[in-house]
């Protein structure tokens, strides 16, 4: 986020101070090369979107999936403030076998999570169906941070992940999600890594690459 413009109050203060997920963000963006196509699923207000789009360059493309109206407004403002012309905002959640999902508020105004009894209903789309409908190129890298809906996101893109095997950066929320995502990714031929010294069974962030 160094050198990029940010609206104070759009998300936790650590975002504009440069401390929020600093090492995770740096690690992911370091793997984005010029000309890549990147999917940011659970883009929120743009913490990963902005530096990833800058790293991909003018010939790259970043698709930012974010279902909440409040977050999309800030996301679009951040894109304009930073004069990024290679970002497409996709104002929807990503999930399998559902045209809408319910979400509940989290710890900050920008954070929501999947909840069948949640107070907010948002549209949802599957990744394979969306890619076919929009004729979009397959991704080279995918970041997924969706507060408990990780396996549903992966299942919705089974053809994309199994066929093209993009780099996947995955934030995990709960043991069930960890188990399901591990089964899906290894079944598609991925090798999963986490921070040095942390076993997969304890890690909340995975990087998955084609083995």
Q: What is the CATH number of the domain that holds 166?
A: 3.40.50.150
Report how far apart, in Å, the C-alpha atoms of 161 and of each of 20, 124, 153 are: 28, 19, 11
Q: Indicate whether 165 pLDDT > 50.
A: yes
Q: Which residue has the higher pLDDT, 2 or 126?
A: 126
By percentage, how much of the chain surpasses pLDDT 90?
66
182-198 in b/e burial notation, b at 16+ Cβ within 10 A?
Answer: bebbeebebebebeeee
Strands 37-41 and 141-144: parallel
Distance between CA atoms of 162 and 184, rounded to whole angstroms? 9
Q: Indicate whether 45 pLDDT > 50.
A: yes
At residue 72, the pLDDT reads: 96
Residue 109 lies in a domain: yes
Residue 148 lies in a domain: yes
Helix (H, G, I), strand (E, B) or coil at 200: coil
By percentage, how much of the chain surpasses pLDDT 70?
91
Q: Indicate whether 199 pLDDT > 90.
A: no
Q: Indicate whether 12 pLDDT > 80.
A: no
Residues 6+ apart with CB under 8 A from 46: 64, 74, 75, 78, 79
Q: Which residue has the higher pLDDT, 196 or 53?
A: 53
At residue 23, the pLDDT reads: 79
Residue 198 lies in a domain: no
Residues 6+ apart with CB under 8 A from 177: 148, 150, 151
Task: Decide: pTM greater than 0.75.
Answer: yes
Distance between CA atoms of 6 and 31, rounded to whole angstroms? 23
**Two tokens, residue 17:** 């101070």
Q: Indicate whether 15 pLDDT > 50.
A: no
Strands 167-171 and 112-114: unpaired
Residue 9 lies in a domain: no
Residue 182 lies in a domain: no
Domain containing 69: what range?
A: 14-170
Residue 155 lies in a domain: yes
At residue 75, the pLDDT reads: 96
Query: What are the pLDDT digits (tens) for 47-81?
Result: 999 999 999 999 999 999 999 999 999 999 999 99
Residue 209 lies in a domain: no
Query: What are the pLDDT digits (tens) for 79-95?
Result: 999 999 999 999 999 99
Q: Which residue has the higher pLDDT, 129 or 10?
A: 129
Domain count for the chain: 1
| 13 — pLDDT class (breaks 50, 70, 90) | very low
Token match 């990833």: residue? 52
Helix (H, G, I), strand (E, B) or coil at 144: strand
Residue 142 lies in a domain: yes
Which residue, 9, 147, 133, is CA-closest to 71?
9
């Amino acid at each position: 986020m160094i050198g990029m413009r940010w609206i104070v109050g759009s998300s936790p203060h650590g975002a504009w101070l440069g401390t929020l997920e600093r090492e995770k963000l740096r690690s992911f963006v370091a793997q984005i090369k010029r000309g890549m196509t990147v999917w940011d699923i659970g883009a929120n207000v743009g913490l990963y979107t902005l530096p990833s789009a800058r790293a991909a360059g003018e010939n790259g493309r970043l698709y930012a999936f974010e279902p909440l109206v409040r977050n999309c407004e800030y996301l679009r403002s951040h894109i304009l403030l930073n004069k990024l012309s290679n970002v497409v905002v996709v104002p929807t959640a990503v999930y399998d076998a559902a045209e809408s999902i319910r979400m509940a508020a989290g710890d900050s105004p920008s954070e929501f999570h999947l909840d069948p009894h949640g107070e907010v209903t948002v549209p949802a789309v599957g990744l394979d169906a969306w890619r076919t409908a929009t004729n979009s190129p397959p991704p080279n890298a995918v970041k997924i941070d969706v507060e408990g809906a990780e396996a549903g996101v992966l299942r919705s893109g089974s053809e994309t992940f199994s066929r093209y095997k993009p780099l996947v950066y995955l934030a995990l929320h709960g043991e069930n999600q960890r188990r399901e995502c591990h089964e899906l990714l290894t079944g598609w031929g991925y090798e999963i890594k986490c921070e040095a010294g942390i076993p997969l069974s304890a890690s909340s962030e995975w990087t998955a690459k084609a083995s």
